[in-house]
Structure 1
Amino acid sequence: MKYLLVAVVLIIAIGIWRNNRRKAAAPPPARPKPHHATEDMVTCAHCGLHLPASDALVGPDRSLHYCSTEHRHLGPR
């Protein structure tokens, strides 16, 4: 009976010790936020609006950028 009591106390003590070790361990590092690549900005040749190059419409000579088809048809100012 005495050995059974000692075994139960040891099991409880080991359980508490292991639980405290898990809490004290550093949490896993957070995932870094994805880094968005920078993008070139261009200016609409008609109205002067700045917009990303991927959203801009290219003019017929490929040197001018426009923000909409209407401005592309109107041409540069």
Structure 2
Amino acid sequence: MKFLLMLALLAVVFFMLGARRGRPSEPEARKPPPPAPPQAMLRCAECGMHLPADEALPGKGGVFCGAAHRASFEARQGRA
């Protein structure tokens, strides 16, 4: 009977140690990345569409949403 009691006690101790050691803490790689900071929105000088600053194309007279709008705006400004 003592043998069974000791065996049960050891099993409980190993279970408690294993449960504590086996539970992994949340690693840094699993945490989601922080959200990107907000960007300034700029308005296309040709069509008026708003777009993020990192996607805007600079040109004479402002920023543009694409190369075609930049070219047409600069051509129209050159004629005037």
What stretches of structure 2 of length at least 5 have no aligned partner? none
Q: Which has the higher contact order (CA 8 A, sep 6+)?
A: 1
Counterparts in 2 of 1:1-77, with a 5 A limit?
2-15=1-14, 18=16, 22=20, 28=26, 31=31, 33-60=33-60, 63-75=61-73
What stretches of structure 1 of length at least 5 have no aligned partner? none
Taking the aligned partners of 1:68 and 1:41, their CA distance within structure 2 comes to 15
The structural deviation recorded for 1:3 is 2.8
Question: SS where residue 55 of structure 2 aligns?
Answer: coil
Taking the aligned partners of 1:44 and 1:37, their CA distance within structure 2 comes to 22
The structural deviation recorded for 1:33 is 4.0
- Off by >6 Å, runs of 4+ in structure 1: none
Percent identity between the two aligned chains = 31
Structure 1 vs Structure 2 CA RMSD: 3.0
Q: How many pairs align?
A: 69
Larger fraction in helix: 2
